[in-house]
Structure 1
C-alpha cells in the first residue's frame, strides 16, 4: 500500500512538471501522435475513430492504393485485389504445364503459364499428356490409367479357354501383367478341348488332332489291306446271287440315328433280291440272316441298282429305292420295261414284297427303267429331295439314246416315268441313264446339278463322254448341249462311272469324279488299266477335264474307274476322300483304292493312301463302291465294297465288305 501511494504521487508531480515545460499545442501534437504512430492520418483502431489496419506503416490506411506485395494497403480485408498472381510451371521442361497453381506477384520461373496444364508429374519429363505408355507403374500419358494394355512394351498373351496351358493363336491379348485365363503360348490348335495341344500325345479315333501337328500320326488306315481282313464281311446267300453288284449305305430307314446298309443281289432265283441290314453293323453275316429281304414275284433282276439316303416320300424317314431294269414286258416285244420301287416304311422280314411299295415302271416301252438311280439331289432347290431314274434304252429321239427322268419329291403315289422332267439323249447308242448322279452342286448356286456319263458314245478314235447339266432343272431338255467332256487323251469308255467326290479340296464347291476303265496303250491297243479324273468345282462350274483335272492312273488290268464314290470323311480330318473301284479283268486282283483329301496332283493308284485287295482273282471286288455313311455308329464314315464274283458260298454268290473309318 505504501509503494502504490509513492508511485501515484510521483506521476502527479511528473505531469505538473511537464505541463510547466511545454505549450498546449505541443502537448496536443504529442497526444495526437500517440493515436497515429505512422502519421498517415488514420488512427490506430484502438482509439476512437481509428481505422488504420497497420498504424506502423504509413502506406497502409483506408483508401490507400493497393500494390501486389502481400499487404492489404487499403485496409478492406482483401490482399492484393485486382492483381493475377496465379502461375503454372513447367519445371521438367517437357512442354506441358502443371495443373497445380503457384501464387506469386511475379513470375516464379522462366517457363510459366497463366493457364493450368495437365502434366500429372511436373518433375519427370517423360510424364505428360500424349507421352507413350510403358509397363513401369507410372501413368506416363496422364490419362489416369497406369500400365494400360496399349503400353508399348506390353506383352502379348493368348486366351487359354480350356485351361491346358496352351493359348489360342486367334485370340491375342496385350497386357503388362498376365491376365486371368491367358498364357504366353500360342500353339493350341483347339482351345475348346483340353486334350488337344502340342504337348498332348495323339489319341486315335477321337476326331481330334491331339498333338496339333496337322497329321493323324498313323491313326488313319494306310497301306494295303486284304479284304479278307475287312471289319465286316457279308456273304451272298446262294450261288449266283451276285451280292454286291450294288451295295451302299441307304441313310437311316428306321430313324434310330444310325445309317443302314442296302445290298442288291440281282441274280437270286431269276428274279433278284434286295436286302437291308440295320445299323449299327459290327459283325460278319450272311444275306440269309438279313433283317429285311425284299423280293418280287416277277422275273427280273431286282437289286441291280439301289439308292437311299433321303426322304422322298415326305414322312420324315429316309427311303430305300431299288431298281429292276429287267422287270416286265407289258407290250410283249421281248424287251424289258424296267421298274423302280420306293419303300413307304422300313422293310422287315424275310419276305417283304415290293408290291407294297410305290412303283415306277417302263409304261410298256423298252427302256430299262431303274438301271441306275440317284436320290440325294434337289434340282429345283425346294428343300425336298428328287428321285432321278435312268432309262438307258429309251428311244425318244433315236434308238437307245436313253434318258434320265427326274421325279420331284415328295412322292406319295405311283408316278410314271413321263411324269417327271426328262433329260434325253439325242444320238443313237448314247444310252443316257446308264450312269449318273445329281448328288452335287458343282458351282455352289444352291441347286443340285446332274452329272451324266455316256461311256458308249463314239468320238473319232475314242469313246465316252461326261456331261453336266446345271440346276435348276425345271423342264425337259436334251443332253449333248450342256458342259461336256469327250473321250480323248488315250482313254476309252469315259463316263463308265461318274460320282460326286464331295468337297475334296475344302473350297466349298463339290468336285466330280469320272472314270475311264479302258485306255489306249502303245500302238493303239486297248488296255484295262483305267484312269479316273477328279475335277474341282468352282463358281463358274468344274474345271476342264484334260487341262485341270487330277488324274489317277491304274495299272495292269484293274479297270480302275469302273465304280466311283465319295468316301465321305473317312479319316476325320475335315476333307472329303475318294473311293475308286477297280474290279479287275481276268486274273488281275480287283479291289478298291482310297485317296485322302485334299489332293491336287496326279497319282498312280498303286500309291493310293489305302489299297483294298480282293481275296482272290475273279471276285470282282470293287464292282461297286460306296462311302459317306457311318454304318457302325462311331462317328466316322465307312467304306463299302461289293464283290459279286465272290464264291465262298457258291459260284458268283457274291460278298460285301465294310471297312470302318478311323483316323484323328
Structure 2
C-alpha cells in the first residue's frame, strides 16, 4: 500500500517541474522523435535555459525570468540589474546587503521616513521602535515627562509663542478651553462665540467681573469706574445677634499697627447692646477678609451702660511720638453729661478687648459733648497735637479745645483747664475740623459749625484764639456765612492748597440747599486767602460749586480730601447720603428709599472752577442698599500705601441698623 500511494505522489512531483526538465535536454516532436532544445549548445545546469542565454549556466536558480533571491549576490533573472537588495522598493537597500533599511519588507520603513507615533514600529530606522517625542520638537507627548499637548505638530510645545485666536494652544498652557482667552481669566474675547471679555489682554477685565477703581472698565459694561462699595477690598458688618447697633456712626482711619501695609479702621456704634445703648468701638484691619466686626476686630472697646459710646471716633495723631496714632472715642452720656477718652496707640497695637474706661484721659464739657471730637493739630505751638470735643449738631455750639500734652498726663480734664472753650450764642452747632492753617501764621486753626438750624455759618478759629485760655464766642469770629435755609456748618472739611497759592481750600456744605434737585444740597470750595479780610458769604466767594442731583441727598464731603489719582494734588469726593442723617438718634433708622451715591471730581476740574452737577464725574460709587446711609461718615487716606488716597465709608443704617463699614481702594494710574 505505501508503494502504491507513493508512486502517484512521485509522478505528481515530476510533472510539477514544468519547463525545468532535469533528465536531459531532449524533447519529442509530433512523431514521437526526441528534439534537442539547445541544438548545437548545452544547458549545463538543467535550468531549462540554454547556456548561450543563461547568464550563469552553472546555477540552476539563475536564468532569464527566474525569481530574484534577495541578498545572494546574483542576478537571478539575468536582467542585468544585479542582485535584489531593495526588496520593498523604497529606495533603500536592506541591512543584509549592507544597506540602511532596517525593514526591507516594509516600504513605509526606511531612513528619513515619517515616524508614526506610538505604533511600535521604527519607521525612520532611528534605532527606537517608538519615541515619546513624536514631532521632534524636544518635548515628549507621552510618558513620565510628557509636556507636549500636540506631539504631531513641531510648532506646538511648552514655551512656544502663543498665537491667539487661531484655534490652537501653541504654548500648551492648557488654561483655555478655546483659543480665545488670551489673558486666562476664563472669559473669551467678546468677538468670539459666548465671550464677554472687552479686554482680553488683562485678566482683571471680563464680563461680570467686579469693578476696580483704576480707570478701566473691569466688568465690560461700557462704563469706567462705575463702582459699588461692594467692589471694595474689605467690608465689615454689625451683628444684630450680638446686639450691634449703628456701627459706622463714628469712623476713623488710623495707623498700620501690625506692619502688614494696611492702615486700620475704627468704627463706633452707639446703639450696641440695644435698649441700654452702651455702645462699642471696633478696630479692624483691611488686610483681613470682610466679616462681622466682632469676629474681625483686632481691638475692641465696650462702653458703659447707657453712655452711647462710639457716637464719635477720631484719629488724634501720634501724641507721644511712639509711631502709633492715638484714638479719640466717646459718647454724649459718658460721665453722665458726655465725654471723650484718649486711647493710646500702643494699647490698640497690643490688641484684645477692654472697657471704655481704659482710656488714659477723659475730656469733658457741657451740653452732652461726645457727639463730636477731633484731632486739631498743634494750635498752641508746643510741638504736640491738640484735641477738641464738642456737642456737634445736637445742641448750641460748644467746643472745648484741650492740650495734647495735658491729655498725655492722664486723668480727667474739664473746660476750666482747657486751652479754650468755643461757644455759639444761639442755634445748633456742627462739626469741628482742625489741622489746617488757613491764615498762614504757622499755627493750626479750627473750623466750627454754628447756627446750623438756619442759614448756618462756619466760624474760623485761629490758633492763637484756640489756645488763648479764654471763652471764645463764634459771634466774635470771622465766619463763612450761609444763605437762608442752607444750613452751613453741619459738616466741614478742607483741601490742602490745590492751587498752590499757599492757602488751603475750605469745603463748605450747604445741607439744606436745593442744588440741582430738591434738598440735593451743595458743596462749595473756598480759597481761605479770601477769608483774611473778615466775614464772607459762601456763595459769593466760592470758586467751585457742586450741586447735588439726588433729591433729599444733602450733598456732603469728608473732613479731609486726598489725592486719588496720584498726580500730587488732592481731589474732591462728594456724597449724597440721604434724608435720615439728622434725625433724633433714637430713631436713626428709617426708610426713605434713597440709595446713597458718591462721586469724585478731580483736581484739574476743581482748580478750573465753575458750577457742576454732582453726577458730572468720571467716578461714581453707589451704596449696596437703600437707606444704608453710606457716607454718613467717611475717611479719606492712603490705606494700602500705594500713594493713592482710598476711601472708607460708614453705613450705620445697614444690616437692619446693625451698621457697617467699607474700604474702597484706588488703583488709578497703576
TM-score of the two chains, using structure 2 as the length reference: 0.58
Distance in 1 between residues matched to 2:564 and 2:235, nearest whole Å: 19
Q: Which of residues 574, 597, 615 in structure 2 aligns to 1:606?
A: 615
Task: Report the counterpart of residue 425 of structure 2 in structure 1.
Answer: 427
Say whether residues 1:643 and 2:643 are aligned partners: no
Task: Report the counterpart of residue 147 of structure 1 in structure 2.
Answer: none
Asked if structure 2 preserves the Cα contact closer than 8 Å seen for 1:425 and 1:478, the reply is yes
> How far has the Cα of 1:350 moved from its partner?
4.9
> How far has the Cα of 1:228 moved from its partner?
2.5
Encode CA deviations 1:534-557: one digit per residue, 9 max, x unaligned: 112338649862223121110232
Say whether residues 1:405 and 2:401 are aligned partners: yes
Return 595-604 or 513-522, whichever deviates more.
Answer: 513-522
Distance 1:321 1:252, change over 3 A: farther
Distance 1:518 1:378, change over 3 A: same
Task: Report the counterpart of residue 593 of structure 1 in structure 2.
Answer: 599
Other structure's SS at 2:452 match: strand
Asked if structure 2 preserves the Cα contact closer than 8 Å seen for 1:281 and 1:631, the reply is no
Distance in 2 between residues matched to 1:217 and 1:555, nearest whole Å: 23
Return 406-415 or 615-624, whichever deviates more.
Answer: 406-415
Asked if structure 1 preserves the Cα contact closer than 8 Å seen for 2:521 and 2:547, the reply is yes
Asked if structure 2 preserves the Cα contact closer than 8 Å seen for 1:323 and 1:340, the reply is yes
Distance 1:582 1:367, change over 3 A: same
Encode CA deviations 1:15-40: one digit per residue, 9 max, x unaligned: xxxxxxxxxxxxxxxxxxxxxxxxxx
Say whether residues 1:308 and 2:315 are aligned partners: yes
Asked if structure 1 preserves the Cα contact closer than 8 Å seen for 2:482 and 2:488, the reply is yes
Distance 1:507 1:285, change over 3 A: farther
> How far has the Cα of 1:603 moved from its partner?
1.5
> How far has the Cα of 1:652 moved from its partner?
0.7
Distance 1:517 1:540, change over 3 A: closer
Asked if structure 2 preserves the Cα contact closer than 8 Å seen for 1:553 and 1:560, the reply is no
Say whether residues 1:484 and 2:482 are aligned partners: no
Distance 1:552 1:292, change over 3 A: same
Distance 1:274 1:227, change over 3 A: same
Asked if structure 1 preserves the Cα contact closer than 8 Å seen for 2:316 and 2:387, the reply is no
Task: Report the counterpart of residue 575 of structure 1 in structure 2.
Answer: 569
Distance in 2 between residues matched to 1:244 and 1:296, nearest whole Å: 15
Structure number, greater radius of gyration: 1
List alignment gaps of at least 5 residues for structure 2: 1-200, 203-213, 580-591
Distance in 2 between residues matched to 1:521 and 1:284, nearest whole Å: 36
Distance in 2 between residues matched to 1:237 and 1:349, nearest whole Å: 21
Distance in 1 between residues matched to 2:393 and 2:651, nearest whole Å: 26
Other structure's SS at 1:626 match: strand
Distance in 1 between residues matched to 2:661 and 2:446, nearest whole Å: 28
Task: Report the counterpart of residue 468 of structure 1 in structure 2.
Answer: 460
Distance in 1 between residues matched to 2:341 and 2:531, nearest whole Å: 35
Alignment of 1:220-231 (within 5 A): 223-231=225-233
Q: Which has the higher strand share?
A: 1
Distance 1:611 1:393, change over 3 A: closer
Distance 1:251 1:539, change over 3 A: farther
Task: Report the counterpart of residue 538 of structure 2 in structure 1.
Answer: 545
Return 477-486 or 306-315, whichever deviates more.
Answer: 306-315
Distance 1:423 1:297, change over 3 A: closer
Distance in 2 between residues matched to 1:401 and 1:572, nearest whole Å: 37
Distance in 2 between residues matched to 1:634 and 1:521, nearest whole Å: 35
Asked if structure 2 preserves the Cα contact closer than 8 Å seen for 1:248 and 1:627, the reply is no
Other structure's SS at 2:573 match: strand
> How far has the Cα of 1:314 moved from its partner?
4.5
Task: Report the counterpart of residue 194 of structure 2 in structure 1.
Answer: none
Encode CA deviations 1:428-468: one digit per residue, 9 max, x unaligned: 3343xx4111121123321111111125354xxxx211111
> How far has the Cα of 1:596 moved from its partner?
1.6
Structure with more relative contact order (C-alpha pairs < 8 Å, separation 6 or more): 1
Asked if structure 2 preserves the Cα contact closer than 8 Å seen for 1:625 and 1:640, the reply is yes
Distance in 1 between residues matched to 2:601 and 2:554, nearest whole Å: 13
Other structure's SS at 2:444 match: coil
Asked if structure 1 preserves the Cα contact closer than 8 Å seen for 2:482 and 2:537, the reply is no
> How far has the Cα of 1:497 moved from its partner?
0.6
Q: Which of residues 313, 321, 332 in structure 2 aligns to 1:325?
A: 332
Distance in 2 between residues matched to 1:256 and 1:420, nearest whole Å: 37
Say whether residues 1:514 and 2:525 are aligned partners: no
Other structure's SS at 1:467 match: strand
Say whether residues 1:495 and 2:493 are aligned partners: no
Q: Which of residues 654, 657, 660 in structure 2 aligns to 1:652?
A: 657
Say whether residues 1:360 and 2:357 are aligned partners: no
Task: Report the counterpart of residue 628 of structure 2 in structure 1.
Answer: 619
Distance in 2 between residues matched to 1:268 and 1:456, nearest whole Å: 28
Other structure's SS at 2:663 match: strand
Return 501-510 or 580-589, whichever deviates more.
Answer: 501-510
Distance 1:521 1:552, change over 3 A: closer
Asked if structure 2 preserves the Cα contact closer than 8 Å seen for 1:442 and 1:538, the reply is yes
Distance in 2 between residues matched to 1:539 and 1:530, nearest whole Å: 23
Asked if structure 2 preserves the Cα contact closer than 8 Å seen for 1:579 and 1:625, the reply is no
Alignment of 1:337-356 (within 5 A): 337-343=338-344, 345-347=346-348, 348-356=350-358
Encode CA deviations 1:592-645: one digit per residue, 9 max, x unaligned: 2222213122211011332211112111111111102x2223332210111111
Asked if structure 2 preserves the Cα contact closer than 8 Å seen for 1:232 and 1:282, the reply is yes
Encode CA deviations 1:335-387: one digit per residue, 9 max, x unaligned: x3333343362325552222221232436xx5222221111511123322111
Other structure's SS at 1:622 match: coil
TM-score of the two chains, using structure 1 as the length reference: 0.59
Distance in 2 between residues matched to 1:547 and 1:426, nearest whole Å: 24
List alignment gaps of at least 5 residues for structure 1: 1-202, 205-215, 330-335
